[in-house]
Structure 1
Amino acid sequence: MAHTDPNLKFWFPSMKPSEIVEAFANWGYSISPEQVAKPTSEFVIGVYSACLEQVTGVSLDALQEAVDQSLANTENPELYSQALAHDLLLYHLQRFARAAKIMDFSARDLYFPESDRLRAILSAFINFIKFSEQNEAFLRRLREQSSALLKERQVVTEEAAELEATMTQFKAKRAEDEPKCEALRQENAALMEQVIAYKEKQMGFLQDIESLKQEKAALVAEKEKVTTEMAAATDNISRTRSRIVQSPERIKRNITSMGNTAAEDKRTVAANEAKTRDLQTKIAALLNIEKDVRSCVEQLQTIEKEVRALDAAQKELGDLRDTLDRKQGERSELIMRRERVHKQLSNAQEKLERAQRHVEDKRLASQQTIERLEREYEEMSVERRDNDRQVEELRAEADEIERKMAEHTKSSQAELNELLTEYWKLRHETEVYMETLANKLGMQVRST
Structure 2
Amino acid sequence: MKNANDTYHSFSTYAGHRSAFYNLFQDYHRVMRLDLARELSSHFKRFQRKVAAAVSRGQGQIKVGKDPMSLGLYKRIAMEMLLSPSRDMVFARTFMVLSWNLMSRAANTASICYGHLEWREDALCVYFAHMKNDQRGSRPRDPRHVYSNPTAPEICPILALGVYWASYGVDDSDLRLFPGNDQYERFRKVLGRVLKTTPVADELERRGTSATDIGTHSMRKGASTFCSSGLTACPPAVAVHLRAVTGLPILQPEFAVLPPHFAAGAEIIQSAKRLCFPGLPESVEYVAEFALASLVYHIDFLRENLPNTHPLFQSALFANVELIESLRLNVDTSGSGCAIQPTGVLPHVTILTEILEARNELREEIIARKADMQKITELQDALCGRLVTDVSKLLEERVCQSGVPTCNSLADSVMKRLEDVGVLQLLLPRDDVAAGDAGLDTVVETAEPSAEKTSHHVYQWGGAMHLFPEDMVLPNGTAEQAGGVSYSFPLLKPREIFACLRDMRVPVSEDEIRACDVGAVRKVLEAFIENTMGVTREDMAQIAFPGLPTLSFPELHSESVPDLTFYRTAQRLLVACGVDDFGLRDVLHPTPKRVRRQLSALINFSKFRTERLAAFSEITSQTDELLAQKKALQEENAALQRELDQLLEEQKAEEPARLQLQTEVNELEKEINVLNRQQAVLRHETDEMKTRRSEMEDAISSTRFTKVEAENDIERLKAQIVTSPDRVKGELQTIGRTVDKAKEDLLELEEKHAAVIQFIEIYERAEKELARTFKLLGEIEQELKTCKETKDQLKNASTRLSELRIRTTETVTRRERLEKLVELKKRELNRYMEDARAADENANRALQMARNELSKLEAAHQEVRQRIMQNNDASRKVELKMKEEEAQYTKELKNLEQMYTRLHQATEYYNQQVLGAIRLSS
Q: TM-score range by the shorter chain?
A: 0.3 to 0.5
Choose 1 or 2 for highest CA Rg: 1
TM-score w.r.t. the length of structure 1 is: 0.48
Between the two structures, name the one with larger relative contact order (CA 8 Å, sep ≥ 6). Answer: 1
